[in-house]
Amino acid sequence: MCNVIRHESNSENKLGSKVKLPPVTVHPGRILRRLSEHEVAESVERWLDCFGVNRAGVNTDAFMWHVFSFERFPSVQGVAAQEQYQLHEAPEYIVVSNDRDEGFTTDVRPTDCSLADWLVFPQNLAWTMAFTHEDGWLGPFFALNPRFKSLNAQNLAKIRKAREADQIRPRPARSHE
């Protein structure tokens, strides 16, 4: 089952006509919250400050993942990227569209989304996965933050704490019928 975000506004096509945007879907997991336009812009800026630090001469306006395809930031791609992505967890996942007009958080590491090009990363940017429309030829790409060890330790501690809290939380009583 895919979770859906309905776009709250229409967009304009190249001729200036209003176009209703299709809903964004993601799988698996549950969409926790849609990011505001400001939060999307802030997330993109933080991502580029981390993973796009050496992006001079690379058209990241078109595709942010070009920092990986042009080898401006160390990454793995294809099957190796998918394998690395499956090994990493976060307390919450941020998903941002490459075109910078959509973003949301989810509680499960997403493996499918209706966006053509999209980024996934934890709040602290310990790592990132860039899914591309060129999947199989260019991408997907997986990269680690230079401060990965300490940032990942923070993520794992938050996950452990949340799991412990879930075990302590009282469960609703079952009715015996």
Per-residue pLDDT of the chain (177 residues; tens, 9 = 90+): 334 333 343 444 445 555 556 678 787 887 889 999 999 999 999 999 999 999 988 989 999 999 999 999 999 999 999 999 999 999 999 999 999 999 999 999 999 887 889 999 999 999 999 999 987 788 899 999 999 999 999 999 999 999 898 787 666 666 555
Phi, psi of 141 (to 5 degrees): -120, 140
- Evaluate whether 6 touches 23 at the Cβ level (below 8 Å): yes
Q: What is the DSSP string of 85-102?
A: HHH---SSEEEEETTSS-
Count other C-beta atoms under 10 Å from residue 130's C-beta: 28
| C-alpha closest to that of 7 among 122, 107, 104, 119 | 104
pTM: 0.82
Dig out the tokens for 98 from the structure.
């490459």
